[in-house]
Amino acid sequence: MELPKDNDGGVGLTIVGGDHTGSLDLGIFVKSVTPDGPADRDGRIHPGDRVIAINGQSLEGMPHHVAVDLMRKYVVVGSVCSECGGEVQRCL
């Protein structure tokens, strides 16, 4: 999916995660979607969705600050999946 950046250079969402517990990757997730921001207007991304990749680059094992830098750098946010109980419900 492609999201255009707004005037302040963001796509209108905040992320959490990128933490590790031993060898377990806890993933990067959408924390919130800014009302009337690009992600909100698009309507396909929701709080709780897991961000799998940005601009084709996997976020698996990636620290939070690196994922934030990628989101700031690229317009394309891809492979966003909603997971429930380990089962993918929706994937864009």
Cα–Cα distance, 72 to 51 (Å, whole number): 14
Contact 75, 1 (CB under 8 A): no
Using alpha carbons, list the distances in angstroms from residue 80 to 1, 21, 56: 8, 22, 11
Share of the chain residues as helix, strand and coil, in percent rounded to the nearest 5: 15, 40, 45
pTM of the prediction? 0.74
- Listed by start position, the domains of the chain span 13-91
Domain 13-91 has CATH 3.40.50.720: no
Predicted confidence pLDDT, tens digits, the chain (92 residues): 777 777 776 788 888 988 765 666 678 888 999 999 888 998 888 898 888 888 778 888 888 888 888 888 775 545 455 444 444 444 44
